[in-house]
Amino acid sequence: MEILTQSQVHGLNTSTMAARKKDAEAKENLWSSILSEVQTQSNTKLPSNKSVLVLGDNASGKTTLIAKLQGVEDPKKGSGLEYAYIDVRDEYRDDLTRLGVWILDGDPGHNNLLKYALNEMNYAHTLVILTLSMTTPWSWVNQLQHWMKILDDRIAGLKIDPEEKQQCQVRLSTEWQNYCETIDDLDPGSPIKRTNRLSSVDDELDALPLPEGVLTTNLGLDVVVVVTKTDYMTTLEKDLDYRDEHFDFMQQWIRRFCLMYGASLFYTSVKEDKNCDLLYKYLTHRIYGLPFRTPALVVEKDAVLIPAGWDNMKKISILYENMQSCKPDDYYNDIIAQPPSRKTVSNREIEIQTEDEQAFLARQQQLLQQGQTPTRGESPLRSQPGSNGKSAQRTPVAAGAQGSPKKVDGKLAPGTQSGEGVLANFFNSLLHKKSVSPGSAAAAAAAGGVAGVAGSPLASSSPRSLNGVTVDPVSASDKISMRTDAALELDRLARSVKKDLDYSAAQSDC
């Protein structure tokens, strides 16, 4: 058996320890590579601190537009400062995040809530959407100036590090300078496509200067101007005689405004689903850097799409060729003037102011004390205007008939007079009876034989005098006919009243 010397044993131990140390270092390098890979992947994930601030007047389509981007069919409008979110998915990395959306109410009384949506913490991570409605193009100038002033004042009041604000402004400038229009067939990973951000100082020196009129006001925020409800253009053409040159004038004006703030421009219609999907993709492109391969669209007047960095004054001047009756430098509201307000015809009934109950009763008591019969004021619902614009005259009837709310049935038994004729005879007889003095009532009854029947008419073609009282002789057959007609009419009215009372009782029991 070979006996190892001490030196040989020491050499074996040294080699074994070296091998173990090498294995430990290899394992440590493996874990380090795994940790670095995880850290790299975490940095490439979609951030969750991004947000969109939506500004615009009321009825400009803010809530409906965001609901369309969310995929919600029935949007619910709130008040003050609304919050929502849009699901954003990166198909390439198989990553999902939520984009927060703040919607500020158009009422100026809610402007103080803007501090919750735009502050020092999220300034660098916010994109602003300004909405305008095609239903009121004459108010675009005031709306854009109003909201840009509010936004500018809010940013000026933020306590932001000047270096951070400058970095945001430089980012906007470099993204505009390095804009490159892509083609749908171009691979987003192709080296031909220029990057959105400069990677070195040399690239910054090679960057083209900003065109004329671009980013004269740099807020440091991405701004997207969205014109909503472009389907209303057909209504403007039909009702207000808008022509293509009017729409070209509006487009060139708003495009020049977007150049000043380095903003993008989208014409959208939720009703006809125009440019809504492209707006969603463009937002994810500007916020998360996801690919957007749609070029600028300026052919269709109701579906304009102009990304930030594409436009310039030379391209805008192409619209001047179609403008015959106006010039680009004309005052906007001289060309796009607000139409005269039309008096809206309301189908609602006129609101009736009710009289105080105690005042009404006091007035009725005063009339009774004076010996007058209280009269009911004429209701505007009962006075329907006639063809000549004046109120139609109503047939005067007795107070007892006015007080009855029951509808008179127009059906009578065969061989009888109409309901109006019988009632007219009945009430005329009452009026005629009042004209006879009380002292001669007996004589009139003896002459006519009808004093005992209430409501019997006294009608004849040859009046005669009896005891100084003029009475009209009536034949026996006429008296019988009148009595029968009056009795039938009163009986029919009684049955109608009873039927209505029974029906009302049945309804109350149910």
Residue pair 468/440 in contact by the 8 Å Cβ criterion: yes
384 Cβ partners below 8 Å, 6+ apart? 391, 392
Confidence check: pLDDT of 239 > 90: yes
Domain count, the chain: 1
CA distances from 449 to 105, 438, 482, 489 (A): 84, 16, 13, 21
pLDDT for the residue 420? 61
Domain assignment present for residue 46? The answer is no
User: What single-letter amino acid sits at 411?
Assistant: K
Does residue 2 lie within any of the structural domains?
no
Q: Is this structure's pTM higher than 0.85?
A: no
> In angstroms, rounded to a whole number, what is the distance separating the alpha carbons of residues 153 and 5?
88
3-state secondary structure 439-493: HHHHHHHHHHCCCCCCCCCCCCCCCEEECCEEECCCCHHHHHHHHHHHHHHHHHH
Lowest mean per-residue pLDDT among 69-83, 241-255, 363-377, 432-446? 432-446
Q: How confident is the model at residue 493 (pLDDT cuts 50, 70, 90)?
A: confident
pLDDT tier for residue 419 given thresholds of 50, 70 and 90? low
What letter represents residue 44's amino acid? Answer: T
Residues with Cβ within 8 Å of 174's Cβ and at least 6 positions away in sequence, in order, are 196, 197, 198, 204, 207
83 is a domain residue: yes
How far separated are the first and last CA of the chain, in Å rounded? 118
DSSP code for 272:
T
SS3 121: coil
C-alpha span between 15 and 97 (Å, rounded): 53
Give percent above pLDDT 90 in the chain: 46
Whether 298 is in a domain gets the answer yes
- 468 within some domain: no
Q: Residue 195 — pLDDT band, cuts 50, 70, 90? A: very low
Question: What's the token pair of residue 498?
Answer: 């009873």
Q: What is the pLDDT of residue 461?
A: 43
pLDDT for the residue numbered 14 = 63
Q: What is the pLDDT of residues 105-155, one digit of tens each?
A: 999 999 999 999 999 999 999 999 999 999 999 999 999 999 999 999 999
Those residues whose C-beta lies under 8 Å from the C-beta of residue 150, and which sit 6 or more positions away, are 55, 111, 114
Phi and psi angles of residue 109, each rounded to the nearest 5 degrees, phi first: -70, -15
* Amino acid 360: pLDDT: 87
Assigned token pair, 118: 């735009």
Residue 166 resides in a domain: yes
CB atoms within 10 A of CB 22: 10
Q: Is residue 376 part of a domain?
A: no
Look-up of token digits 């029951």: 406
Report whether pLDDT(343) > 60: no
| 487/491 Cα distance (integer angstroms) | 6
Length of the chain: 510
User: According to DSSP H, which parts of 289-410 are helical?
Assistant: 313-316, 332-335, 357-369, 399-402
CATH code (residue 220):
3.40.50.300
CA distance 208 to 216: 16
| Inside any domain, residue 236 | yes
Which of 188-192, 248-252, 376-380 is predicted least confidently? 188-192
Q: What are the tens digits of pLDDT across the range 49-59?
A: 999 999 999 99
Which residues constitute the domain of residue 313? 52-184+211-335
